[in-house]
Amino acid sequence: MKCIATSLALLFLSASGLLEAQTTFSVSATEVWKIAPHHEQDVEGHITITNLTNQMQTIRWTRTEVSITPGCYSQVCDLNLCYTPPVSTKTFEMQPNQSGTIIMHFLNYDTILGAEAVIRLKLNNEAQPADSTVVTFLFTSPLSSTGQALPPAVVRAYPNPTTDGFWLANAEDVRTVRMLALDGREVARFPSMPGHYYSLAGQPKGTYLLVLEDAQQRPFQVLEVMRK
């Protein structure tokens, strides 16, 4: 009987842990890619966030401009308000089962040619900080000396997470891979070749952003890769 009681207690604790780790909200995408022509002063990237519970939730967003063309800015509109560019973090409340739109604005008021940005938006439940997700926004210029359209954003990195390095799938249009730390520093740059293995030797454990560029040196997709 003692063994049965112990087993039941362990099962209860495991179930409790699963409930505590349960995701309370979802987002419609973790990567958003938008073309930003220089003559459009405000280009928007949208995601939908959904409260998956029957309770009110308080969600915090934190914006990080990993890289952005000097003279350009970004601003966030959450379910409550639109904030000015200097505001980098705020909270908002979600009603039970509510869905709503979060907008990332890329502002190019000076119509700078070739303007682009990589922006991360972290969302987390204030009551459960571990319940979080990150959305990466890529705003890229359509400029090309050949007039060619940008490649489709269908590349993926594997394995991910990884311990030593990664490969890229569907990477026929990738010519250069720029690896950025989350503070915007470029920590590595790789030429892309079919079947190439990208080594992370010498890089600390953590999350990195892979900015994929085509033959015209235009960023067309951003991937996250984690080294364990």
β-partners of residue 41 are none
Q: Kindly provide the b/e burial profile for residues 43-54, where b requires at least 16 CB atoms within 10 angstroms of the residue's own CB.
A: bbbebebebeee
Which amino acid is located at 77 in the chain?
C
**pLDDT (tens digit, 9 = 90+) per residue, 152-181?**
889 999 999 999 999 999 999 999 999 999
pLDDT at position 187, please? 93
All structural domains of the chain: 25-140 (2.60.40.10), 156-227 (2.60.40)
pLDDT at 13 over 80: no
**pLDDT (tens digit, 9 = 90+) per residue, 49-95?**
999 999 999 999 999 998 899 999 999 999 999 999 999 999 999 99
| pTM for the model | 0.76
Whether the CB-CB separation of 155 and 171 falls below 8 Å is answered with yes
pLDDT at position 83, please? 97
**pLDDT (tens digit, 9 = 90+) per residue, 102-117?**
999 999 999 998 899 9
User: What is each CA distance from 194 to 105, 176, 190, in whole angstroms?
Assistant: 35, 12, 12
Q: Write down the residue that tokens 């998956």 correspond to.
A: 52
Residue length of the chain: 228
Q: Write down the residue that tokens 């085509």 correspond to.
A: 214
Sign for the pseudo-dihedral over CA of 125, 116, 157, 173: positive
**pLDDT (tens digit, 9 = 90+) per residue, 172-217?**
999 999 999 988 889 999 999 889 999 999 999 999 999 999 988 8
In terms of DSSP bridges, do strands 198-199 and 165-169 run parallel, antiparallel, or are they unpaired? antiparallel
